[in-house]
Amino acid sequence: MPVDAELQPVLDLLAAMEQPPPMEAGPDAAREGFALLCAAFGPGAQDVTATDITLAGADGPVPGRIYRPAGAAPSTTGAAGLVFLHGGGFVIGSLDTHDALCRDLAAGADITVVSVDYRLAPEHPAPAAAMDAASALDDVVRRAPELGLDPSRLTVGGDSAGGNLAAVTAVAWRDRQRDDPGLAPLRLQVLIYPAVELADEDRFPSMKENAEGYLLTAETMAFFRHHYLSGAVVDAADPLVSPLRTADLAGVAPALVLTAEYDPLRDEGEAYAAALGAAGVEVDLERVEGAIHAFVQMGSTGIGRQAVERICAALRGAVS
């Protein structure tokens, strides 16, 4: 089907703007542009309280933000939680770019969302982001009573690069559980058009079929890979970078995987869902027809709202 009618004006606007190639513009310009784009998507649910906090990263503290539904009933055992990892190709994105989405998830799923501002490349190449994500989850579990959370009802999720980090974090938590069976399993991993294969950019047809004209481009993905991997202490095929190459996925958290028809990352996300299923993991995969990358953040569109509702329903079911 064609691109959704409410998404097409976004693509038309971007096509009309004269922008230098990402490699020429550099990370700072990309961060500024992405922040402006995300701000245009709307403010998100307002019946949510948001508080900035500090979380333990792999090499020191990292910023975080905790979202609670307004009027949420207090619980003696703590609230269910989602540890959220924002997208942005490991180079751009922040707490603020995904503030609206986190608000919508907290309100719609009646869940406490903890958003993690992990370190970005090129200042901090791979696997800094992945290590920060795993450390932040550990910190949330450790501090669950202080944060008003129930450590037995936690989930992890993210979009794009954040979906990569959520997948890596779910594997890391599975490994921790194997060493310490007393740890509660994650209830769900929410992978929103995840980038899970950074070692072979030509492995899947969608990277070529959707290379240009759909917001995220193959050229931009090459820009992200370059900055995330330059100076990295692991290579692109390491599962910390490309979770699709994880040898053993058995026992990781059940997954909701959303992909978009007109997204360069479509096929790799679906391949990861297939790999999870082959390992015996419960997987719910949905390809959203007519959608483009980042559409879940576009809460002013019907297709974006429906996707958020879909995620919220999965979260409610997982933590009930």
Identify the active-site residue in 160, 227, 238, 242: 160
* 12 a catalytic residue: no
DSSP 75-137: -SS-EEEEEEE--STTTS--TTTTHHHHHHHHHHHT-EEEEE----TTTS-TTHHHHHHHHHH
pLDDT over threshold 90, residue 238: yes
What do you get for the CA distance between the two ends of the chain, in Å?
Answer: 36
| Cα–Cα distance for residue pair 115/166, rounded to 1 Å | 12
Peptide bond into 145 cis (omega under 30): no
Neighbours of 176 (CB within 10 A): 14
Q: What is the spatial distance between Cα 154 and Cα 257, in angstroms, rounded to a whole number?
A: 17
pLDDT at 76: 62
Single out the catalytic residue among 132, 238, 263, 267: 263
224-237 per-position pLDDT tens digit: 999 999 999 999 99
Model confidence, pTM: 0.97
- CB count, 10 Å around CB of 308? 23
Spatial neighbors of 222 by CB under 8 A, at least 6 apart, are: 201
Is residue 267 among the annotated active site residues? no
**Options 86, 98, 124, 293, the catalytic residue:** 293
Sign of CA dihedral 125, 215, 163, 276: negative
279-289 tens-digit pLDDT: 999 999 999 99
Compute the C-alpha angle 115/196/247, nearest 5°: 115
Q: Is 263 a catalytic residue?
A: yes
What CATH fold (topology level) applies to the domain 8-319?
A: Rossmann fold (3.40.50)
Averaged pLDDT for residues 68-91 = 88
Of residues 222 and 15, more confidence is placed in 222
Mean pLDDT of 117-125: 98
Helix (H) or strand (E) segment spanning residue 197:
none
Whole-number Cα distances in Å, 181 to 226, 249, 251, 318, 319: 38, 17, 12, 20, 20
Report which residue type is found at 68. Answer: R
